[in-house]
Amino acid sequence: MIRVLILLLLPLLTSCNIDMLTGPGSLKPGDDHHQAGEVAFSGEAPRHVMASQAFHDDRIVITWDAVAGADYYTIERAASQVEPVQSMADSLNWSRLSASTTGTSLVDDSSQLEAGWYYAYRVTAHDFEKGAGDSSSICQGSLLAAPSTVTASKGTDSSRISISWTQRPGVSSYEIRVSEDSDTVSLGQVIARVRQSTDGEPNAYLNSYTYTTSSDERGRTLYFAVTAVGGDGSSRSGLSPVSSGYTRVVGAPSAPSLVSITRGDSTEAVTLAWSPDDSASSSDEVSYIVMKSYPGSSESQIFPMYEGQELETDESGNYILSDSDVRENVQYTYSITASNSIGMSEASVQDGYLLSAPQSLSFIPTGEGYALSAVLPVGADPLWTYRVRMTEEDGSVSEGEFSPDELSSFATTFAATSADEASYQDELRTLEVWTVNNGLSSASSASASIAGIPSTPRITASQNKYTGLAANSAGVCPVEINLAAGAGYAPASYLVTRTEDDGSGQRDFTVDALSALLNDSDGTEVGQVYNYSAAACDALGRRSAQTASVMGYGSITGEALIENFEDHILKPWEAPSKHPEYVSGGKSSIWSYIRQAGMGSLGSASETGSPLRDAPNEGRTGTISYNATPDGIGGSVSFTYTAYYSEATASFFDQDFYLGRDASYSMNVSLSGSGSVSAQSFETAGMYPATIDFSRLSVSNNAFTGRYLLVQHHQDAVDVSYEVRV
């Protein structure tokens, strides 16, 4: 009888040792794809990179082909006012977008995008273990926008009105609308559709169209605006600024003769002066209308503003009009029209502007120091000079005056390598610049600052956090490292240092201060806790003090959790390299091991786990017990785990991967090989807490069959469930 039961239980034990948790399982989204038979990371540059050109008014969409084996992609962007061709790639100022993606498209909807600019993009594929591949060729994208400036001729021809407008990048064509009322141009008739011009420098030339007026339109003021048609041929921009135009009438006054207009010789107002019309008489007086526009605006009438308003005159009898509703670094276009009883003259059109500070200043790191990049003010004259005030780290201030060439070549070199050196106090921190024209200074200044050595940053690291990002080949998902600047100067980048729990295996990572986020799974292993610390760096690479270390480790895939649960808790006898205390070899040797233990009629045994090393569980351990007994005309095998901890003394699992409570299961089988399973749920604790439920398993052909449920518990109370087929 005993011999019969032994033969019955042998295939039962053989099957349960190997079949219990080796079903294919459902892989978590983002699990590593570098498995056997999968294509390894090629490192190639992404191909067919494209960006939308004038399709959307608020975003640019970038797409590319997938790269074999890539875990994720990063995208870089550069802005240019001229078309960025491939040969310009090295001269563009590239910056990485804060967003990365595991897909093959990205929507760039940054508030930094501006209408009228070209944007260059390039894409790089990355592998968590092998790093970055080659960058793609560049593509260009642009926003869809109406022309910023539209002009219409005023009295230059007796039958035609010439309309011109600034081009926009990526636009396919333009629609021109006309109306007799400036407020209804959007509803006006489309008089022409004009394709984008392809001659000259992009954004530096105009499209134009000549409109032949009907007989009843001649001599009357008409209003024109332009709509841009997108690169897809269907999307349309909003309406451009509105401009007025009209034809010349015989007998109308001649164009007003402008005597002077402010061009950088005032900081308060733009003043126009023109001479009276010689044809004016008491029987046919000449009146004047002054219109004003600037890029992005429709024309507006600034004289007369009310009925009966009179123009002032100077000592020479010239008419004077001062416009104080003006801003620095804006070029205003004024048109003066004379009218008598017959009609309007040709307009006298001139530009005027205030004396302004430079439009922008910025310091560009060169490795040894900084070079100043300056955009000179509107109307910059070679004879103007620039008054410069310099403030150093110690608060001392000095001033000087520079020519345009001297300002453009202004540079500062830093000798200090740390905040402790005396020369650090002599470093330039802020530059303020005023424009000077013949002793008159601009009302405001432009400024640029250089960040000194930043303060120690703040760092946090996630522990078993579900991020949805792809796992590495070991099944470990990225650790999320968040960085924040300290109270001092803003950093240009961060240097993150990672070590293993014993201080070995140091790796350094550079993180862009713009994103201040590192998703790290580069070589990380299951069961290994890592220590992270960081220093903040300025643009020259000088560093703050290092932060204290913080502990972090990535979550693992469901597949990795199952494998390690089996290796260390559920079936440690099947991982002889990790657990040499168990019998290795074929499956039948497990029965031999239990039988030789000699405890019970059919065999039983127990193993005691190694004590835990660290508080608060230091010294704790537990046992696994096996018991095979006859049961009616069949048999049963039970496995009991009492306060059990892993025996993997060489791994972190003996500290943080263990059962949360006692658990057991029994497998009952009849002579036919079918039967049932009596099982409690298993609660794992430590680094990778999970609940494993075997209640849906049964026995068929002397083996487990059915499914079991695995629920992973992540940081921030996120649960992810998987059903695994046995």
**Residue type, position 183, single letter:** D
Share of the chain above pLDDT 90, in %: 47
What is residue 675's predicted lDDT score, i.e. its pLDDT?
A: 79
Q: What does the pLDDT read at residue 91?
A: 75
The tokens 């070590």 sit on which residue?
Answer: 499
d(CA 482, CA 325): 47
d(CA 458, CA 323): 52
One of 1.10.8, 2.60.40, 3.40.30, 3.40.1000 is the CATH number of 360-449, namely: 2.60.40
Distance CA 326, CA 516 (A): 41
Say which amino acid occupies 583.
V
Q: What is the pLDDT of residue 499?
A: 95
- Looking at the chain, the whole-number percentage of residues with pLDDT higher than 70 is 78
On whether the CB atoms of residues 558 and 26 are closer than 8 A, the answer is: yes
How far apart, in whole angstroms, are the C-alpha atoms of residue 708 and residue 677? Answer: 12
Mean pLDDT of 195-212: 73
Q: Which residue has the higher pLDDT, 246 or 594?
A: 246
Taking the complete model, does pTM exceed 0.75, yes or no?
no
User: Are 364 and 371 spatial neighbours (Cβ–Cβ below 8 Å)?
Assistant: yes
Q: Given a cut of 70, is residue 7 above it in pLDDT?
A: no
Token pair in block for residue 139: 């593509």
CATH class of the region 458-552: mainly beta
**Per-residue confidence at 594, pLDDT binned at 50, 70, 90?**
very low
Question: Is residue 5's pLDDT more than 70?
Answer: no
pLDDT of 411 strictly over 70: yes
pLDDT for residue 3: 32
Per-residue pLDDT of 42-100, as tens digits, reads 999 999 999 999 999 999 999 999 999 998 899 999 998 888 777 777 778 888 887 77
pLDDT confidence bin for 207, thresholds 50/70/90? confident
**Interatomic CA distance for residues 463 and 454, integer angstroms:** 28
C-beta neighbour count of 101 within 10 angstroms: 15
Residue 432 to residue 447: CA distance in whole angstroms: 4
Question: Is-same-fold flag (360-449; 458-552)?
Answer: yes
What are 112's two structure tokens?
Answer: 């930094």
For residue 611, the 8-state DSSP code is P
CATH among 2.170.190.11, 2.60.40.10, 3.40.50.740, 3.60.15.10 for 50-141: 2.60.40.10
Cα 50 from Cα 328, distance rounded (Å): 38
Give residue 591's pLDDT.
Answer: 44
State the average pLDDT over residues 392-404.
94
Q: What is the average per-residue pLDDT within 108-125?
A: 92
Prior bond of 46 cis (ω within 30°): no
**Per-residue confidence band for 641, with pLDDT thresholds at 50, 70 and 90:** low
Quick one: pLDDT at residue 13? 41
pLDDT classification of 12: cutoffs 50, 70, 90: very low
Residue 350 to residue 112: CA distance in whole angstroms: 32
- Alpha carbons 102 and 478: distance in angstroms, whole number: 13
Residue 267: pLDDT band (50, 70, 90) is very high
Are 18 and 106 a contacting pair, CB within 8 Å? no
Mean pLDDT, range 439-468, rounded to an integer:
93
Contacts of 306 (CB under 8 A, 6+ apart): none
Tens of pLDDT, residue by residue over 224-239, are: 999 999 988 888 999 9
Query: Sorting pLDDT into bands at 50, 70 and 90, what band is 249?
Result: very high
Six-digit token string for 526: 């299951």
Task: Give per-residue burial for 332-344: e unless 16+ CB within 10 Å, then b.
Answer: bbbbbbbbbeebb
- Sheet strands side by side (includes 507-512): 507-512, 493-500, 530-537, 550-552
Q: What angle do CA 478, 481, 486 make, to 5 degrees?
A: 170
Domain locations along the chain: 2-28+557-725, 50-141, 360-449, 458-552
Instruction: Quote the pLDDT of residue 653.
Output: 40
What's the pLDDT at 156?
Answer: 94
Would you say residue 21 has pLDDT above 60?
no
Which amino acid is it at 301?
Answer: Q
In whole angstroms, what is the distance from residue 296 CA to residue 715 CA?
Answer: 51
Cβ neighbour number for residue 353 with a 10 Å cutoff: 23
Instruction: Give the pLDDT band (50/70/90) at residue 33.
Output: very low
